[in-house]
Amino acid sequence: MSRAEPFGARLRRAMDTRGPLCVGIDPHASLLSAWGLGDDVAGLERFARTTVEALADRVAVLKPQSAFFERFGSRGVAVLERTVADARAAGALVLTDAKRGDIGSTMAAYAATYLDAGSPLFSDAVTLSPYLGFGSLRPALDLAAANGAGVFVLALTSNLEGAEVQRATAPDGRTLAQVVLDHIAAENAGAEPLGPVGAVVGATLGDTGADLDVNGPLLAPGIGAQGATPADLPAVFGAAVDRVVPSVSRGILRHGPGKGQLREAAERLRDEVRAAVDHRNEGFR
């Protein structure tokens, strides 16, 4: 059996051909209402299906937020399964935003849920929390590599509360965020064009003071509703800006439920990102 193409290579190609953008699928109750949908499984399914039909054939990454599906129980998870499968079938890479993190057999079970090719929730990548120790993520790192999938590890998040943990210092003087980033860089060493382990770094943070050269993708939430703009990306990410995947949810989803309006919003933001980073990376097209 041939080994699956590495996630980093697939993501780089998707960003180069479709543009550097990740669109979240976040069916908040307020968004369901704004779309004229009920806060129920039928509304959830309509919302997710519309977003996939509008965007999965044109954006690089779609990122369903698992919590907004899980709140409807098993029927909501069934909608998530269909959303993941349909988006992947249409050509988008799917990053399931689950932020899982645990130890031992429990971490292995989380890994199997999202990163085993035989799972109904198999995704191109999943978000993980490293704050039980980066080594606790080993089952997910290994299974992702075996199946050509990726992971995005929380490093410097856009929420204010994150600083009390992420900016704390380790015994060697590094911040805990930098410890995580250094682990990610070690996992990605030697990979081309991108490693399979990404870092989550908020676009709202300004100059992070961190070394973001992890040889992997950088998922950047915070554009739109949280206040950051594409023009902020070069200042936050510096020389690593060509590896940034800006993540936007409400800033695009609020233009629904019309599919045309969703497409126009996504394409406009993609073009703004390209314009913001092109002057720093002339080869980034």
158: number of CA atoms within 13 Å, CB side?
A: 20
Helix (H) or strand (E) holding 106: helix 104-115
Longest dimension (CA), the chain: 54
* Mode of pairing for the β-strands spanning 150-156 and 125-128: parallel
**Can you tell me the distance from the alpha carbon of 89 to that of 95, in angstroms, rounded to the nearest whole number?**
14
Give Cα 2 to chain centroid, integer Å. Answer: 27
* Mode of pairing for the β-strands spanning 93-100 and 125-128: parallel
Q: What number of residues does the chain have?
A: 285
Positive or negative, the CA dihedral 145, 181, 277, 280 is negative
Catalytic residues: 99
List, in order, residues 6 or more apart from 73 with CB less than 8 Å away.
Answer: none
Label residue 243 left, alpha or beta by phi (over 0 means left) and psi (-120 to 50 means alpha): alpha
**Can you tell me the distance from the alpha carbon of 255 to that of 265, in angstroms, rounded to the nearest whole number?**
7
Alpha-carbon Rg for the chain in angstroms: 18
DSSP 91: T
